[in-house]
Structure 1
Amino acid sequence: RERLEGEVKQYEIKVLNMRQAMDELQTSENDLQLAKRRVEREAADFKQKALNLEREVERLRSRLDRPSSVVAGSPASSPRK
């Protein structure tokens, strides 16, 4: 009888340890999911910033590629008196 009670006690301890390990794994999984969502948001933000910068570069290139006569004839460069 004492032997069986000792075995039951050992199994109860094992079950408690397994439950604690499971709780820790679930907490870790939740933390990882939050981190993943945060990184995905940051990646989307960086992608959008890269697209905006590419558009800005193209806009500036198109300004540089214009013939100088177009720039010289623009109202912004005409002298006012």
Structure 2
Amino acid sequence: MNTVRTVCESDERGTAHVAVPIGLPRRRVEIVIVWQEVDGDDTPDAHGWPPGWFERTAGTIEDPSFVRHPQGEYEAREALP
């Protein structure tokens, strides 16, 4: 069994649209959905990061040899149907 956890916002009719990537083409699967209302606090602190962590650590690496090397180019892919 696999678990997917996501937070989404419902539309004006109160319907939430959820896409579940299962990676099994043309297979029968059972999907169970459980929902609960969440508050609007979608900050990094709400996701388990200590308060102020990003503010304290962003830009703190002073080593001039620490660089982000070129990442290359994306390969060409077929368009999805």
TM over 0.5: no
Higher radius of gyration, 1 or 2: 1
Taking CA–CA contacts closer than 8 Å with sequence separation of 6 or more, which of the two structures ends up with the larger relative contact order?
A: 2
Of Structure 1 and Structure 2, the greater helix share is in 1
TM range (shorter): under 0.3
